[in-house]
């Protein structure tokens, strides 16, 4: 099934009653990757009072969150909710708080952590990852223009091209279109072009 995640790390910050809240979001596909991101943010902000976080992972890894010393329910859960409302998975958010000397109360903390995390989601480059296969093609030059005209019909994403004695193309094609593409290539080339397909993977289209 397709899923939404973030392409790369990004950041959003707000200041409320002199406390600065810095929210960072990043892709993560395993608990180890998510924890490494959390540890990295902590290392960058050793003087901060709190580094609260949440993450959601695929492949039965589930979700996890931490208030990191804030009153229970005021930080980790609002951060997790921001990921859920954004429809994101394989993603982690850490919100770092530099205390400004004014207490916000449980309601104020909850709203602010939620706002910071939602800002991180809004600032991120969100991508949809779809089940696909890498397709390797090798063919003679006379087929090139016809293949180029065919590929947009399948939403193919060109990964690499090599022009030598023969043309070699590497494409990414959605899993459900691969069989149809193979048939069209066979028809186009009278059976001369036989694509090689990788195992299923996830690709950003």
Q: Domain boundary residue among 74, 106, 124?
A: 124
Rounded to the nearest 5 degrees, what angle is found at the Cα of 86, between the Cα atoms of 110 and 130? Answer: 155
CA distance linking residue 116 with residue 11, whole number of Å: 10
- Do both 85 and 174 map to the same domain? no
Question: Over pLDDT 70: what percentage of the chain?
Answer: 100
- Do both 102 and 194 map to the same domain? no
- Do both 14 and 105 map to the same domain? yes
- Do both 32 and 54 map to the same domain? yes
- State how far the alpha carbon of 61 is from the alpha carbons of 80, 117, 122, in Å: 15, 21, 24
- Do both 80 and 23 map to the same domain? yes
Per-residue pLDDT band at 205 (split at 50, 70, 90): confident
- Gyration radius of the chain over CA positions: 23
Residues of the domain holding 147:
130-204
The pLDDT score that the predictor gives to residue 1 is 86
Q: Domain boundary residue among 55, 90, 124?
A: 124
Closest-CA residue to 86 (of 39, 124, 29, 142): 124
The pLDDT score that the predictor gives to residue 102 is 87
Per-residue pLDDT of 9-48, as tens digits, reads 999 999 999 999 999 999 999 999 999 999 999 999 999 9
The pLDDT score that the predictor gives to residue 117 is 98
CA distance linking residue 168 with residue 11, whole number of Å: 40
* CATH number for position 179: 3.30.70.240
Mean pLDDT of 76-99: 98
* CATH number for position 74: 3.30.230.30
Structure tokens at 190: 């009278």
Per-residue pLDDT of 109-163, as tens digits, reads 999 999 999 999 999 999 999 999 999 999 999 999 999 999 999 999 999 999 9
Mean pLDDT of 46-67: 96
Closest-CA residue to 192 (of 141, 150, 133, 132): 141
Domain count, the chain: 2
The pLDDT score that the predictor gives to residue 8 is 96
């Amino acid at each position: 099934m397709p899923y939404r995640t973030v392409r790369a790390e990004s950041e959003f910050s707000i200041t409320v009653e002199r406390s600065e809240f810095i929210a960072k979001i990043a892709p993560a596909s395993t608990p180890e990757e998510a924890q490494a991101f959390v540890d990295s943010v902590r290392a960058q902000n050793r003087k901060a009072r709190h580094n609260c976080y949440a993450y959601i992972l695929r492949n039965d890894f589930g979700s996890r969150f931490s208030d990191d010393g804030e009153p229970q329910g005021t930080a980790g859960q609002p951060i997790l909710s921001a990921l859920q409302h954004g429809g994101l998975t394989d993603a982690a958010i850490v919100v770092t708080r530099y205390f400004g000397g004014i207490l916000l109360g449980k309601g104020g903390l909850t709203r602010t952590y939620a706002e910071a995390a939602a800002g991180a989601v809004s600032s991120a480059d969100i991508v949809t990852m779809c089940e696909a296969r890498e397709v390797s093609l090798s063919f003679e030059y006379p087929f090139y223009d016809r293949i180029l005209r065919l590929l947009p019909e399948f939403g193919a994403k060109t990964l690499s091209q090599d022009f030598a004695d023969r043309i070699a193309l590497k494409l990414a094609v959605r899993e459900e279109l691969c069989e149809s593409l193979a048939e069209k290539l066979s028809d186009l080339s009278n059976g001369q072009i036989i694509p090689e397909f990788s195992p299923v993977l996830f690709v950003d289209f």
